[in-house]
Chains A and B, each alone.
Chain A
Amino acid sequence: MRKFAVGSVAVFGSLLVALAGSQAKAATPDLAQAQAVINAHSQIPDFVPPGPPFDARKCMAGKSLLSIPTSSSIPFVDGIENSMGSVAKQVGFKFQQWKNQGQPTQWVQGMAFGIDNKFTGIDLMGGIIPNALAPQVAAANKAGVKVFATHYSDTTQPADPAVAVTLRIPFHEVGEIIADWITLKTGGHANVLIVGSSDILPSKPYADMLGATLDKVCGPGCKHRYVTVTVPTWSTKIQTTVQGALIADPTINYIVPLYDSMSQFVIPALTLTGHRKNVKIATFNGTPFIIDMVRRGDVEMDIGESLGWIARSILDGEMRNMCGLPSIGETLYVPLYIFDKDNAKDAGIPADFDRGYGDKHVAGYAKLWGMQ
């Protein structure tokens, strides 16, 4: 009798497990949720004031800002810097860039220059990790120069306590949007190769969220794999890595280079392996030549950030701090906007860094800063 009872329980348990398994396999991708996310990021962004207005011209009088970009050789970074420069000119305060080629010793010189010339603030922009310049940041703090760190990490990563203002980008949200796009386009049947760079700080939360969203929204019909190629080896390793992955697994139908400039090395791999038609590329940054590729159909979609919007959001946070106003948060107010074959031409032909996003931020920030 006891054996029968145990046997019955075992059979019943097995049935439950089998039922549960069949339920998981039968789970369908959440296309409605994916569509909602994609819709939200396909509209020309509207400007919503990120904080209370203030008189920027008045409170920034006599103040100065030195901006040290991670490397002036990166067009995206240099574009933000130039935009910051022209906005600072409109506001009417001294702004100087420390043009460099990405060498930490050049950043060290820039920090010393900012301290010695008594700038009100120094902005480490676009990828410089404040901790990697700890002695210089400490020296600036000691000298009463405020240090800001902007556009260098994900919002889920801890802020550096040594800097006065940290302004980050929600890279993980980008991962979520791309996962939703792939889910929608494949109807929940995607095999995704994610190509990232572990030497870029936000890569991990960004790739993690992309994978997690695919698991959650796309469901069991989707699988994904992450490979990493460090920045200095992009030109030599991305192509071979992607070729190898496609040969090993010909069912891959989406490739996600986490940063869109990687795409130029992915496309030759698709051509050489004969996967140009059936493998799509979805990526992030909105670099002009990649938007051109979107327009030509080489890349399916590219999520872009308006450089002018980034520049204004950075300056907004930093001016508030230099003026002694309360902080309005540690996330850059920068809408993420999807470019695909239908709207890529809006970015210009050839594409430009700051076109295609509308211009509501220009008037919006001018009003916020009491300049209109």
Chain B
Amino acid sequence: MSQAPNQADAGARISPGGSAGPALRKMNIARVAESFALLAATIALAAVFGILMPHSFLSWANVSTMLGSQAVLVVLSLALIIPLTAGDFDLSIASMLTLSSMLIAVLNAQLGWSIYAAMAVAIVTGAVVGVINAGFILYFRIPSLIVTLGTGTFISGVVLWISGANTISGIDDGLVSWVVVRHIFGIPLAFYYALLLCVAIWYFLGYTTAGRRLLFVGRNREVSRLSGIRVDRVRFLCLIASGVISSATGILYAGTIGAADPNSGTTFLLPAFAAAFLGATSITPGRFNAWGTLIAVYFLVIGITGLTMLGIQTFVQNLFYGGALVLAVALSQLVRKREPQDFT
């Protein structure tokens, strides 16, 4: 994937002859505005709905519900940006989420396993799926789009098989309690888990050697390889990370509703992609980033919740998700000076 030039590069290009002071300042202001445009749009959207429904939309209870109930989407989107940063698609994340929640339901609610053992199995399964994805992508050199589309479909079949295509309820109250029942400042713990993951990924990508290597690999694999970075190893670990985090999302999902159903998890795929690409236009424009993704999720959530509370027809939700995705990618491309993207 090609990335936008960083600020130093941009500044160097526009400062010949030392007369770039005002131009550089103008450029920096433009970049700051660009970085926080989505955040401003999110606040503006909330303000519009707040004006339309001051008592219900702006209530702390509604804010808390939006933050808590959509933490699942935040974590899944964060799982997605890791392979995207390395230049790989992972279309199996939503199926992995569903498999993870269903494994917990089957093992814990039906077979009587402890919730901890069920969660461990779910996480290990996510890692195994990541290894399988990486194996096909890296060993056989098959595009990630094709491999993860296939494994995602395969996993959906496994979910239907182990669940008998039924919704399974009765998951341990302990998990439910640690996900949505317990609150800090009135917000369910699920939100704080998502926030912690966001901080961890932000720190990893921005302040660790391994994270910088990942960014280099995403920017140009060949140059990275010639620089001594073990490109395949980085991509391998990214795909495992997305599998494991998708599994963790499944655990959150099971804890949010106290049950697992074989189909609904897959509906998170488009919103997760929309959030990842929309997030790439924010905070660090032109690059998939954790904070941008978090803001993007809540931009989408505020939009959908507001439309729902207004009783607007559901097709508008599709217009909003789909429109936001296309618009986000278009904006992202403008930031990149319309450079072609290289996902494999």
A residues bordering B, Cβ < 8 Å? 71-73, 78, 96-110, 112-113, 115-117, 129, 131-136, 197-199, 201, 228, 230-232
Contact = CB atoms under 8 A, between A and B. Distances in A.
Nearest to B307: A99
B181 interface: yes
Given A99-B308, A105-B72, A230-B160, A132 B61 contact: no
B262 A230 contact: yes
Contact of B262 (A134, A135, A199): A199
B259 interface: yes
A240 to B, nearest CB: 15
Nearest to B59: A116
Contacts of A103: 264, 267-268
B65 A134 contact: no
A100 B267 CA distance: 12
B258 A96 contact: no
Contacts of A100: 308, 314
Contacts of B160: 199, 230
Nearest to A231: B263
B313 interface: yes
A228 B161 CA distance: 12
Contacts of B66: 109
A352 to B, nearest CB: 19
A100 B311 CA distance: 9
A72 B61 contact: no
Given A102-B264, A132-B257, A97 B311 contact: yes
Given A72-B314, A230-B160, A232-B266, A106 B72 contact: no
A196 B268 CA distance: 26
B256 A108 contact: yes
Contacts of B308: 98-100, 106, 109-110
B10 interface: no
A135 B169 contact: no
B166 A198 contact: yes
B56 A112 contact: no
Given A105-B72, A116-B61, A116-B62, A96 B257 contact: no
B323 interface: no
A132 B256 CA distance: 10
Nearest to A116: B61
A135 B176 contact: yes
20 contacts: A73-B315, A99-B314, A101-B314, A101-B318, A104-B264, A105-B69, A105-B72, A105-B73, A105-B253, A108-B65, A109-B66, A112-B62, A132-B257, A134-B169, A135-B181, A135-B256, A136-B257, A198-B165, A199-B160, A199-B165
B73 to A, nearest CB: 7
Given A129-B259, A201-B167, 14 more contacts: A99-B314, A101-B267, A103-B264, A103-B267, A104-B257, A108-B257, A109-B70, A109-B308, A112-B69, A116-B61, A129-B167, A133-B259, A135-B256, A232-B263
A364 B181 CA distance: 45
A134 B164 contact: no
Contact of B309 (A108, A113, A201, A231): A113
B56 to A, nearest CB: 6
B180 A113 contact: no
A329 to B, nearest CB: 25
A98 B62 CA distance: 14
Contacts of A107: 257
Most central of A78, A110, A113 by chain B CB within 10 Å:
A113
Given A109-B66, A230-B262, A232-B263, A132 B167 contact: yes
B73 A228 contact: no
Contacts of B311: 96-97, 99
Contacts of A104: 253, 256-257, 261, 264
Interface in B152-208: 160, 164-167, 169-170, 176, 180-181
Contacts of A109: 65-66, 69-70, 305, 308
B313 to A, nearest CB: 7
Interface string B294-337: 00000000001101110111110110000000000000000000
B264 A135 contact: no
A132 B313 contact: no
Nearest to A203: B165
A230 B56 contact: no
Contact of A199 (B73, B181, B257, B263): B263
Nearest to B160: A230
Nearest to B173: A135
B314 A230 contact: no
A108 B264 CA distance: 13
Interface in B245-270: 253, 256-259, 261-264, 266-268
A135 to B, nearest CB: 5
Interface string B194-234: 00000000000000000000000000000000000000000
Most central of A97, A99, A115 by chain B CB within 10 Å = A99
Nearest to B261: A132
B71 to A, nearest CB: 9
A197 B166 CA distance: 10
B59 A134 contact: no
B165 A116 contact: no
Interface in B266-283: 266-268
B76 to A, nearest CB: 11
A24 B200 CA distance: 73
A228 B163 CA distance: 14
